[in-house]
């Protein structure tokens, strides 16, 4: 009986070890670029530790500051940033391969889907832009607006930038 119990315990430990090895191998296959330590470590980015950069004139009209909140970390494709639009500032027309979420954190802005009327967005509003939908967003002529933008990348690209929003389109 002792031999049977010992054999049973040994087999149980062997099955447990094989199971853990297979789980580890599956994780390594699923996340080949992440080391075990990095995969299991929480990363905190302190508020104010990231320096904003000026939005490029090719992608924005007016004064825009962009602060990267988080880049896409393998295996995730999701990134996010805080975008601050001064009065009258706006993005160019653009699309996102997997869509975008905007969370307005301050002020009042506008968002428009190609072919649709401009919609007002205010502090606390959340806008969902579906994949591939041509749109723009920014501040109103009289009010600054800040939003958090969250989007996913496809082949390392989260946005397809297009033409500028004309004054006529913006003032409608």
Phi (first) and psi of residue 127, to 5 degrees:
-115, 135
* 54 within 8 A of 123, measured Cβ to Cβ: no
Q: Where are the alpha helices (DSSP H) in the chain?
A: 2-30, 36-39, 167-171
- How far is the C-alpha of 19 from the C-alpha of 94, rounded, in Å? 47
* 121 within 8 A of 138, measured Cβ to Cβ: no
Q: Which residues pair with 161 in a beta bridge?
A: 94
- How far is the C-alpha of 166 from the C-alpha of 169, rounded, in Å? 5
Tens place of pLDDT for every residue, the chain, 172 residues?
Answer: 455 444 333 433 333 333 444 444 444 555 555 555 556 788 888 888 888 999 999 999 999 999 999 999 888 999 999 999 999 999 999 999 999 999 999 999 999 999 999 999 999 999 999 999 999 999 999 999 999 999 999 998 999 999 999 999 998 7
């Amino acid at each position: 009986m002792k031999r049977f119990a010992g054999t049973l315990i040994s087999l149980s430990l062997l099955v447990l070890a094989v199971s853990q090895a297979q789980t580890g191998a599956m994780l390594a296959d699923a996340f080949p670029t992440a080391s075990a330590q990095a995969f299991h470590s929480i990363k905190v980015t302190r508020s104010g530790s990231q320096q904003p950069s000026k939005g490029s004139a090719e992608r924005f009209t007016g004064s825009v500051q962009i602060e990267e909140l988080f880049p896409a970390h393998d295996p995730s494709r999701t990134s996010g940033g805080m975008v601050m639009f001064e009065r009258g500032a706006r993005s160019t027309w653009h699309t996102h391969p997997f869509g975008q979420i905007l969370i307005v954190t301050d002020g009042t802005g506008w968002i428009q889907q190609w072919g649709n009327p401009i919609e007002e967005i205010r502090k606390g509003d959340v806008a969902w832009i579906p994949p591939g939908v041509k749109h723009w967003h920014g501040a109103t002529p009289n009010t600054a607006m800040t939003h958090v933008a969250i989007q996913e990348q496809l082949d390392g690209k989260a946005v397809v930038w297009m033409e500028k929003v004309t004054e006529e389109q913006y003032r409608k």
